[in-house]
Copies of this chain bind each other. A is one copy, B any other.
Amino acid sequence: MIIVGELINATRKVVKTAIEAIDSKVIQKLASDQADAGATYIDANAGVFPGKETKYLKWVIDNILKSTDLPVCIDSASHKVIEDVVKYTQEKSDRIPMINSISLEKKRVENILPIIAGTDLKVIALCMDEKGMPTTVEQRVTIADKLINKLVQNNVKIENIYVDPLVQALSTNIVFGTAFLTSVKNIMTQYKGVHTMCGLSNISFGLPQRGFINRNFMAMAIANGLDGAIVNPLDKKMMATIIAAETLQGRDEYCMEYLKAFRAGKIS
């Protein structure tokens, strides 16, 4: 399972403050804590600093690369920032970054596709187009199909594509859980080698005991084939759920990862 640690995001006050104060320690600890907890990528987002986003994001990434062995997930709404920061990151390290994200929105395709085309960069592909968020399975799979084909035709290997079918709040429509789950199942079955990825906490918006809902939804998504997630790796209960669900889904030979996690006190 690809675990993208989501904590280094400047919309979070602790991160914003650390960036403004050029406080390397805070960023490095957030990076190494997430790595220790099982992250396989560290997301980096400095989108709240217009004009200074590129500069700050480079500094954040410097700190992540210094304090962990992990690749980064470059997270920006601006293609110019992404282009600059990808180059910088690849000069600094041979760890191949992930781009967060492309979608089927016309401008996003025009601007992001040239950065990724013909490279080994990983990319999160959001199931979203000009019409906004899809609501049905059919809409999601249709967008996924177009995105995957467009990327593959532009020499992006299918195994570098992480399709995010987008989770919507169950409290607004009771079918939004299965719309997501079935989309994951269909995408993973129809496009051999592709991955799926999501940040799933939207599912529980408006409901009590959100963490409990989120964890159950994670197990159900893994049961449908999900093999990537953007999460808080310091959420021990969520990480334990992911480990158990992966084992139950047959991805953990001899249950070794589960037993290792148990012995390390991660299942409790």
A interface with B by C-beta (< 8 Å): 170-171, 174-175, 177-178, 181, 203, 207-209, 212-213, 216-217, 219-224, 240-241, 244-245, 247-250, 252-255, 258-259, 262, 267-268
Number of copies: 2
Contact A267 B178 (CB under 8 A): no
Taken together as a complex, chains A and B put the C-alpha atoms of A208 and B262 apart, in Å, by 7
Q: Are A252 and B220 in contact (CB under 8 A)?
A: no
Enumerate chain B residues within 8 angstroms of A170, measured Cβ to Cβ: 247-248, 255
The CA-CA distance from A223 to B220 in the complex, in Å, is 5
Is A209 a contact partner of B267 (Cβ separation < 8 A)? yes
Which B residues lie within 8 Å of A217 (CB)?
248
Q: Which residues of B contact A262 (CB under 8 A)?
A: 208-209
* Contact between chains at A249 and B208 (CB < 8 Å): no
- The reply to whether B174 and A252 form a contact with Cβ atoms under 8 Å apart is yes
Bound CA–CA A253/B172 (angstroms): 11
CB atoms of A248 and B267 under 8 A apart: no
Chain B: CB-nearest residue to A262: B208
Distance of A246 from chain B, by nearest CB (Å): 10
Contact of A250 among B174, B208, B249, B267 (CB under 8 A): B174
Most buried by B among A178, A248, A259, A268: A248
Q: What distance in Å separates the Cβ of A268 from its nearest Cβ neighbour in chain B?
A: 7
Q: Are A244 and B213 in contact (CB under 8 A)?
A: yes
Chain B residue contacts of A207, Cβ below 8 A = 255, 258-259
